Chain A
Amino acid sequence: MLTPLVDDDGAPFWKYAAEGELRVQACADCGELRFPPRPCCPHCRSFATEWRRVSGRGRVWSYVLPHPPLLPDYAEQAPYNVVLVELTDAPHIRLVGNLVTAPGARLDSVPVERIRIGARVRVVFTSTGLPQWVLERP
């Protein structure tokens, strides 16, 4: 499986994720949340940043079901789901992820017919610190 290729701006996200926390970059001056991380606030141009913990709750904004040809590790689980989750705390922040039955479960563990746009989801973390999503009402 591919692991995140972390850059300087993104490193804190992955550090917190490894500790089981979903945090989003925020401007330490005007308070606006932003994603993906970057050095400067697009609202007030401040370089002061902080990482704010969010509730980890959201809704499915959209999803796809990739089929092969794919990289081997992914092909082995295909068709699986990739979801785009809109955070409840910050509706314009959407995180790509997978809907699974439990942390670390296969990417095809949730039956396709259970996936729908608007479904409420909650964040969980794999043992390697990758955020994943489970249905609030499985």
Chain B
Amino acid sequence: MTVLKDATAIVGIGQTPFARQLPETERMLACRAILAALDDAGLAPDEVDALASYTMEETDEVEVAKALGLGDLTFFSKVGYGGGGSCATVAHLAAAIATGQATVGVAWRSRKRGSGPRPWKNTTVQLPTPAQWTRPYGLLRPADEIAMLARRHMHEYGTTRDHLFNVALACRNRANQNPAAMMYERPLTREMYMNSRWISEPLCLFDNCLETDGALACVLVSAERARDCRRTPVYVHSAAQGLPAQHHGMVNYWNDDPLTGPAWTAARHLWKHADLTPDDIDVAQIYDAFTALIPLSLEGYGFCARGEGGAYTEGGALEIGGRLPLNTSGGGLSEAYVHGFNLITEGVRQLRGTSTAQVPDAATCLVTAGEGVPTSALLLRN
């Protein structure tokens, strides 16, 4: 991993608008986001020789390369398990560039979750192995699956709905500062949260992310080449994937300790190969498909001890000026749910100093992918 440490940098980011429904196809949105990211970097499409994406979208790398007139590709990678793959795309490109397999890499995410199908909606087609043990009983949606862990965490550690509200509020407050966010100018109050309808008790409407159409992309090159690019380089300091022993999809109920998920595995590798510790992190972008993932991730990535993830959110800890400003573009809960790629681009903006909710002098940022599924994470620095 010393090979990877600060050897590559993100030099371009791009995105489309976010909305409940956009008229363009996933493929068109992907192309627009990638062109925007290349333009941001000051690089030409025919210089791209590596692509990385993740599953649960329809945009094929062959089609993207053909449509955009990319050069000969010498590296391409598609990471599995949906939202757990976001940071891994960057990690794969970093590894490819650091080892000389490619020179200019693009990672992207394009989704039409707002207007398109969801994999669990037509559940007559059950997903394979875990589904026969869960779906017949009415455990149908990711919200149901994560709520099971959330309830147990509340029971064991005294985590409360107020703790989950703290997470939702921090994300919403940041989205209120971000004109690109779906929830810009739409404040959230504790009363709204506590009176909202249930989705899967103990999770309510505001514990769930937004269904969104939109696309994002980023461009990666070697640290050496980054010095000649248009923007301030944001270095990939450390990267990890995590698939723990005996883990089982989003229904991680069958290992010794279901409350320690993939975040714990990714975190061990991430910190082991970093010059940083959790105390050194200025701002965090933590995957928030559900508020309950934040306490679990805060514990997994070592910001607090086991069981303290709920209490950690108290006293404005996750707000700007708190001890760990969280999801500063609004995250999946309030900016857009695009399988976490907006967390990567927001991490880049923070380290460039261009966030709409800028943490003063932010120099380090943790970005994570979906907890609950085989996951990935990045430590970024400027």
Contacts and interface: CB of A to CB of B under 8 A. Distances in A.
Nearest to B254: A35
B118 to A, nearest CB: 11
B254 A93 contact: yes
Contacts of B202: 64
Size class of A's contact patch?
35 or more
Given A62-B149, A79-B201, A4 B141 contact: no
The CB with the most chain A CB atoms within 10 A, among B130, B131, B138, B201, is that of B138
A85 to B, nearest CB: 10
Nearest to B202: A64
Interface string A104-124: 000100000000010000000
Interface string A1-43: 1111111011000100000000000000000000110000010
B158 to A, nearest CB: 13
Contacts of B254: 35-36, 92-94
Contacts of A96: 133-134, 137, 139, 251, 253
B137 A7 contact: no
Nearest to B245: A42
B78 interface: no
B157 interface: no
A49 interface: no
Contact of A6 (B132, B144, B251): B132
A5 B131 CA distance: 7
B304 interface: no
B123 A2 contact: yes
Size class of B's contact patch?
35 or more
A95 interface: yes
A67 B198 contact: yes
B273 interface: no
A134 interface: no
Contacts of A71: 123, 140
A51 interface: no
A33 to B, nearest CB: 11
B43 interface: no
B256 A36 contact: no
Contact of A117 (B138, B141, B147, B151): B151
A80 B132 contact: no
Contacts of B133: 4, 10, 36, 95-96
Contact of B253 (A63, A67, A94, A117): A94
A42 B246 contact: yes
Interface of A: 1-7, 9-10, 14, 35-36, 42, 61-67, 70-71, 74, 77, 79-80, 82, 84, 92-98, 107, 117, 130
Given A2-B136, A61-B152, A62-B152, 6 more contacts: A36-B254, A65-B198, A65-B201, A66-B139, A66-B200, A82-B139
